[in-house]
Structure 1
Amino acid sequence: MNIVRVATYNIHKGVQGVGPQRRLEIHNLGHAVEQLDADIVCLQEVRKVHRREEKYFTQWPELPQADFLAPEGYEAVYRTNAFTRHGEHGNALLSRWPVVTHQHEDISDHRFEQRGLLHVEVMVHGQAVHVVVVHLGLIRASRARQVAQLQRFIEREVPPAAPLLVAGDFNDWGDLVQRALDATKLSAFSGGRHATFPARMPLVQLDYVYARGLTPLGVHVPRGRIWWRMSDHLPMIAEFGLPD
């Protein structure tokens, strides 16, 4: 059985703290992504550019964050969710395997939260695997509508028999997302929750890797000071078996 290792991580735009106490963590995040040793890394809150922070931090990378974080030999795919006064940010996918196609869909539910999903088709061990990176809204009613849009997107864009991964920050403290995705035959790992937020003292699971057409093998959430200093979320790593 071929194994695919998938990670999802909300990197908080590569900066921690607020005001004059904020610190640049993007360089540490680069080392962290390498340590994850995942075939596919799904990232949220990734900056393409931020003109104010670029002036404030002398070590701000010259490359967009997705390209900067991609380990050697990986391909980076980024699409913008939100445009702000000083720049833009969105979702990204880093892949050890060849990227076939990618596309973006706006799932913003209201003007105060710009959200999107990133759909990437990756050729893993010679087999096409579809990956959708998501970052849902903070309001429950918005999430319900966004999950419904995600379901319609999957029905429209992903062949029913194709292996599918849906990963990201779902911002859901309950079972709204899980119940909705059950209808799409997408499932997360059973056996209790794997808390990812807040990173310093994780109490709830906001980050998930859902799968369809793959065999779940294991899930892990790394913890410790080196992780909670880099983002307000912890990364989640999941392993799956690819069908022959």
Structure 2
Amino acid sequence: MKLRIATYNIHKGVSAFGRKAKIHGIKEAIDLLDADLVFLQEVQGQHDHHAEQHAHWPQVGQHEFLAGESHHSAYGMNAVYDHGHHGNALLSRYPITSSVNHDVSDHAYEQRGILHAVVHTGTQEVHCFVIHLGLFAASRRRQIQALIQTIQRDLPPDAPLIIAGDFNDWSQRLSHTLYQQLGVFEAFDVDAHHGASRFSVKGMKQLLSGKRNRHARTFPAGLPWLCLDRVYLRGCRVSAAEVLSGAPWNQLSDHVPITATLEYPDAISTDIPVTSHEQA
């Protein structure tokens, strides 16, 4: 089985300072991705001021608007204010059998949550976690531990797993913890010299060696430099991964999206080397 996925911070569907509505262009661009699963951050569930200021502002939450008729949606409300709220969302071409939002807010000035949705593809259940971590390193470490504890408590150790979103981890310090405690890999963790499979003993030793891996550069959208957005995986193989920089993505949000094509065990051998590439 193959799944095409994407992760994207949509900046609440507006330009800087909310002066221009971008949500319609974002929907058109996401539709063109033809992704089975889309992990979204900074999704506006409601914003009364934008609805008043912008003509044709969606009458429903952005997660429902972006899902349209082709996808199901789940929404995790994180930040709540007088005129609305925003959070994380998952769009899925397959039925979403359950969803729960875990509050991992670390202090009063940043409201953060992790959305856990279970998707049934027809052949298996895939556990999807949509994540947007805090701006402070100590907060991110605590939020990652909360994620790990939730997964270890609620999921079987071999359950197919996708963790995707905006990690705000510009120093790239969180991956080793996730590798070690969850047995995951990241979509761009390819050993260019050896082509080692992430499911081989050699591949896992390389991930746990402590060496910094090459994650995708996704921020800022005009000239992506920082590696803020990630896709961590378990129970599948990545046959392709790319960063979608350039037009129209550099005009829609302050991040650019990542896409990846995943292959699940009914169609792969775990000894096949994993390949991926980054598009400049």
With normalisation by structure 1, the TM-score equals: 0.96
> Does residue 4 of structure 1 match 2:33?
no
Structure 2 partner of 1:143: 140
Matched-pair contact (CA < 8 Å) for 1:33–1:71:
no
Structure 1 partner of 2:16: 17
1:186 Cα shift? 1.4
Rg (Cα) greater in structure: 2
Q: Which 10-residue stretch deviates more, 135-144 or 150-159?
A: 150-159
> Does residue 169 of structure 1 match 2:162?
no
> Does residue 153 of structure 1 match 2:155?
no
Opposite residue 134 of structure 1, the aligned amino acid is: I
Structure 2 partner of 1:107: 104
The correspondence for 2:236, drawn from 196, 214, 220, is 214
Equivalent-residue separation in structure 1 for 2:227 and 2:134 (angstroms): 15
> Does residue 88 of structure 1 match 2:85?
yes
Where relative contact order (Cα < 8 A, 6+ residues apart) is larger, the structure is: 1
Equivalent-residue separation in structure 2 for 1:72 and 1:35 (angstroms): 14
Equivalent-residue separation in structure 2 for 1:98 and 1:230 (angstroms): 28
The correspondence for 2:75, drawn from 72, 75, 78, is 78
Structure 2 partner of 1:187: 185
1:127 Cα shift? 0.8
Opposite residue 198 of structure 1, the aligned amino acid is: P
Gapped regions of structure 2 (runs ≥ 5): 191-213, 267-280
Equivalent-residue separation in structure 2 for 1:99 and 1:18 (angstroms): 34
Matched-pair contact (CA < 8 Å) for 1:34–1:71:
no
Equivalent-residue separation in structure 1 for 2:20 and 2:172 (angstroms): 34
Opposite residue 220 of structure 2, the aligned amino acid is: P
1:160 Cα shift? 1.1
SS in 1 for 2:174: helix
RMSD: 1.1
1:204 Cα shift? 1.3
Bigger proportion of residues as strand:
1
Matched-pair contact (CA < 8 Å) for 1:169–1:206:
yes
With normalisation by structure 2, the TM-score equals: 0.84
Equivalent-residue separation in structure 2 for 1:165 and 1:193 (angstroms): 16
SS in 2 for 1:205: coil
1:136 Cα shift? 0.2
- What percentage of residue pairs aligned between the two structures are identical? 45
Gapped regions of structure 1 (runs ≥ 5): none
